[in-house]
Amino acid sequence: MTAISSSMPNGPTMSPAPRRSPARTRSQSVYVRLKDGIDAHCDRARAAGAEIVQEPADQFYGERQYRARDPEGHVWTFSQTVRSVPREEAERLGDLHIEGWHQ
């Protein structure tokens, strides 16, 4: 799955505009879900010149994620599901209330 959205103000994917953008405004955020191999994927991205802005880490909601900035300045989030987390557990671990939840 790939999703493209506006950057979240003050969020983890907030980044400057691509280096070639004359406006120098915020960029889009790109989210890519991988089936497997996220750590090897991160290693390949780093070797190809991406700046790893968040190393691969397990998240409380059951995903393993890393973030990389490409040479043009776009921030990409790569994610892989590592376990199924019930909504109640995610709320407790994240100290938040979640409206709706995936299965």
Domain with residue 76: its CATH number is 3.30.720.110
Residue 53 lies in a domain: yes
Asked whether the beta carbons of 27 and 13 are under 8 A apart, the reply is no
Strands 63-69 vs 28-33: parallel, antiparallel or unpaired: unpaired
Highest mean pLDDT among 1-10, 26-35, 66-75, 84-93: 66-75
pLDDT tens, position by position, 19-75? 555 555 555 778 999 999 999 999 999 999 999 999 999 998 899 999 999 888 888
CA distances from 18 to 15, 23, 61 (A): 9, 9, 30
Residue, of 88 and 41, whose pLDDT is higher: 41
User: What length is written for the chain?
Assistant: 103
Residue 21 lies in a domain: no
User: What's residue 97's pLDDT?
Assistant: 80
Residue, of 20 and 87, whose pLDDT is higher: 87
Tokens describing residue 86: 């019930």
Residue 100 lies in a domain: no
User: What is the count of structural domains for the chain?
Assistant: 1
